[in-house]
Every structure is written in C-alpha cells, then in structure tokens.
Amino acid sequence: MRHWRVWFACLLAAGLLGTLWGVVSAAESLQGDQCEIPAGEEIASDLYVICNTLTINGTVRGDIIGGAWSATLGPAGRVTGDIWLAGGQLTLEGRVDDDIRFAGVDLDLRSTVQLRDRSDLTAIALNVEIWERATLPGDLNFFGYQALVLGAVEGDVNFNGSALIIGGDVAGTVTASVGSGETSPSFIPFPFPFSVSFQTPGLTVRSGGSIGGDLNYSGARPGNINGRIGGEINFTLDMPRPDITQAALETEETTTLDLIGRYLRNVLTDVLALMVAGVLITLAAPAWVREPSRLVTRQPASSFGWGMILALLAIPVTLIILLVSLLLLVIVARITLGGFTGMGLLILLFVNTFVSGGLAFVILFVARLVISYLIGSRLARRFLKVDDRLLFTLLALLIGAALYTLVTNLPVPMVGLLLNAVGVFTGLGAIMLHARALYQRTARVYPTLPTTPHLPAPPPALEALRGKTPEPPPDSGEHPAPGMSNLPEGFRWWGADRER
C-alpha cells in the first residue's frame, strides 16, 4: 500500500481525461500520422486534431484546435472560425474567417490566403512570414525570433524578437523590440527541417516597404530604414554593457569616467537584485544555498557539467511547457464544463507561471547565489566574527554578490560573459546534485526490524546477580542440607542481611 497515493492520482487523472474526452468527442476529431479533409468534404462543428501531418482542402464550419507537426490549409480549404494550433509548421493558402493563433516553429501566409476583415494573427514562433500579395486585415502580434512582412498588414504590428523585416505595407503603427545587428543568425546546430531563411537581427524597412503610422522601436543600434514612414520615428537605445575596448568608438562626449560609472551602476543593480533574491531564499529555504555551495567544493566538475546540461535544456523545456499550456488553455476555454472552466483556466495559468517563473528564478538568481555564498562565506569566516547564523548568511551573500558582480560585469569583451556562464552552470549543477541527494534520501527504503520475541523469565541465579536474592525454601527440620549440620547455633545465612 505504499503507492496508494500514486494509484489514486492515476485514477483521478483517468476520470478527468475520460470526462474531457466525452465532451470533446461531441465535436469532430482527427488523430494519427496522416490526417486529411479532402475537397468537397464539410465538417459542421469544431475540429480537434492531434496529427503528424494535417491537410485541409475541405470546409470546417467552426474552430480548428490541436497540434500538428506540419499543417496546411490548401487553396480550396476554408475555416469559418479560429485556428488554435501548436506544432512545427503552419501553411495557410485558403480562407480563414476569424483569428489565427499559432505556437511553433514556422508560419507562412501565402499569396493565395483569404482572411476576413479584422482577422488578427498572434504567434509565438521562430519565424513568421507574410508573403507578397498576401493581406492580413487585422494586427500582427509576434514573439519569437524573426518576422518578414512582405505583404500587407492593415492593422498594427507588435513585435518582440530579433529580426523584423518590412518589405510590404503596414497601415497602422509598428511597435518593435529587436536584437543587435552585430550577431549572425547561424545558431542552428542541426539540420533544420523547414525552409526558413534566417535574417540578420535588427530592424529593416526595405525601399519598397511603408508604415502608415508611427514607428516605435528599441534595439542595440538604429535600424536600416529605407522605406516610407507616415508618422514619427521614435528609437530607444538598449544600452549594452560597457566595453572599455570600444571607448574610442563612442561619441566624443563619452569619457573613461562615463564608462566606469556605467560599469558601477550595472554592478550595483546586480548586487541589489541578488540580495533581494538572497533575503527571500535565506528566510524561506537557506539550505538550498548552503548545501549546494559545499557540493561545489567537493564536486566542481560534476556541478559544472550537470549545470550546463540543465541550462541548455531549459529553453526547449520552457517552450514545451508553454505549448502544452496553450493547447490545454484552448481546450478548456472551448469546453463548457460549468464552474470548472474558469477554475481550470486559473489553475493552468498558475501552474504555467509557477513552473516557468520558478525555472527562471533558479537559473538567474539562485545559481548565482550559490557561488556568491561560496565566495562570501570563506571571507566572512576569516575576517568576521558573527555567531548568529542568519546574519552570517546574509553578510556572506552580500560580500560574495559584490565580488561576483564586480568580476562578471567587467567591461572586457567576453570575459564577464564567460565567467558569469561558468558561475551559473556550476551553481545550477550543484542545486541539481543537492536535489538528487534529497530525493534519494527520502526515497530510500529502510529494512523493518523484527519484533522482539517473548523471553522466558530469568533463572534465580540471574536475579541473584542483579541484587535480588530469592527467599530460600522453608526449613522442614527433617534432614538438613549438606554442609549445614556443623553450623553454629542460631546461624541463618539467608537472614544475615535483614538482621543487620
């Protein structure tokens, strides 16, 4: 019965899934490797899909909800409702009468696509491309790497990513946050399965492009603007970390003192952020800083290796969590389950925020606090005499955070970045090793000791050794015991102690 909680949770989950499936099955559903709605076929309800390849050449009179590695709405296909899809690639060539919501790798609005008035496009993706002669009647809301607007957008463009290229016409306002143009987009280390042409980070408005409203954008440097801007251009410089080797490239008003002041401001900002997180973690769970710091000194190589693996897995894991949460949110929102619908949305939102935010907090703050405490505790033990453990921990974190940020913010190319990466990887790996040790300790099964058998009563001789002399048998006077016949008159050995 040790696993009764696991079995109960499985039965409860199975019951909930059965309930959800019973509701979803009232609508049409497709699942499998190859899913297709051929031309001339019509589905008169919402369509739920879980497919490897999805091809729609018929009509769906409702929403499309689900996931597919590759989905295509052919030129003859039509969707009268929304598209809520997560997966690899979505290609739209037919007609969509409502909004498009996509989370995945690549989305293409091709030239033959037909969208109803005020249809919006919202995407969390690596690449979104609006082809030439394609028109998006509503707004484009994008979060990811790059977006190519080569057709027309009749609403606004809200962009948060690295590369934004506008070669068509945007009737509204463009609000964008772009990356630096110094880096190359050749960061894909494996053969990419989709035909995506990666662009150089930054903002580009080509000579044939135009923006009818204002252009508000921020980045590490001004964009390459050759097209027509109907409104104002407002640029906000995202100040990079100061680089002392680039001082000669700065404006004449920028001096060495300005660079030093900028460096010290960055150090102070990092120290304050680390100390706020340090106070919280010290009051809530100080062992998650102290114990991993000890593991760093004992297993430095293992800590660094595990931390690097976890840091590299953090981005895809977070993306998967976001995609699954988006899919679940859509399904719960579209299913009528009475009061459970609102509660389910809140639960999914809370879980998604907690997991993603917690993972970011551990990587960005707790991992660095482990290294800061390791540095600060060594110095605090040598130079400070503090008996209070809480005060000692806070002082060690303050000293270590100050030294750590002074080094990792050095205005020397790549030095601070590499040192910060080493610190984060090592601290993160030590946290993982500590968590594994706790799990192994709690999951360890200890043998059950056998019950003590019932022992017989000790013999009289043992009781005599314990100081409990038994009473002698009564003297019958008939036959004296051996050796008792020549004793002095009145001598009784068993009563000698009592008479005294």
- What is the pLDDT confidence band of residue 105, given thresholds at 50, 70 and 90? confident
Shared-domain flag, residues 148 and 96: yes
Regarding whether 235 and 284 lie in a shared domain, the answer is no
Among 368, 351, 352, which Cα is nearest to 277's?
A: 368
67 Cα distance to chain centroid: 21
Q: Is residue 202 one of the residues assigned to a domain? A: yes
**Is position 466 within any domain?**
no
Weakest mean pLDDT among 7-21, 173-187, 375-389: 7-21
Residue 413 and residue 301 share a domain: yes
284 and 424 in a single domain? The answer is yes
Burial class from Cβ neighbours inside 10 Å (0-12, 13-18, 19+) for residue 462 reads exposed
Quickly count helices (H) and strands (E) in the chain: 10, 24
Average pLDDT over residues 223-245: 80
Residue 129 belongs to a domain: yes
Instruction: Give a yes or no: residue 476 inside a domain.
Output: no
What count of Cα atoms within 13 Å lies in the side-chain half-sphere of residue 40? Answer: 0
Q: Check whether residue 216 and residue 311 sit in a common domain.
A: no
In the prediction, which pLDDT does 126 show? 84
Whether residues 256 and 398 share a domain: the answer is yes
Whose CA is closest to 361, among 287, 426, 281?
Answer: 281
Could you tell me if 228 and 258 lie in one domain? no
Position 336 pLDDT exceeds 70: no
pTM, rounded to two decimals: 0.53
Q: What is the pLDDT of residue 180?
A: 61
Same domain, 214 and 260: no
More confident residue, 272 or 341: 272
Q: Is the pLDDT of residue 245 over 70?
A: no
User: What are the tokens at 166?
Assistant: 């506008």
Residue 94 counted as domain residue: yes
- 381: nearest Cα among 401, 406, 400, 362: 400
Mean pLDDT of the chain: 79
Clarify whether residues 151 and 279 are in a common domain.
Answer: no
Strands (E), 161-272: 163-166, 169-170, 174-177, 202-205, 210-211, 215-219, 224-225, 228-229, 233-237
Helix (H, G, I), strand (E, B) or coil at 36: strand
Examine residue 79 and state whether it is found in any structural domain, yes or no: yes
Does residue 17 sit within a domain? Answer: no
Q: How many domains does the chain have?
A: 2
d(CA 417, CA 272): 19
Query: Are residues 179 and 270 located together in one domain of the fold?
Result: no
**Whether the predicted pLDDT of 130 surpasses 90:** yes
Amino acid found at 387:
D
Q: How many CB atoms lie within 10 A of CB 307?
A: 27
Bridge-based pairing state of the strands 140-149 and 121-130: parallel
Q: Which domain holds residue 278?
A: 248-442
Are 253 and 166 members of one domain?
Answer: no
Q: Which long-range CB contacts under 8 A does 258-261 form with residues at least 24 apart?
A: 259/411
- Given a cut of 60, whether residue 283 has pLDDT beyond it is yes
| pLDDT tens digits, one per residue of 424-480 | 999 999 999 999 888 888 877 666 666 656 666 656 655 555 555 556 666 555 555
Please indicate, yes or no, if residue 299 is contained in any of the structural domains: yes
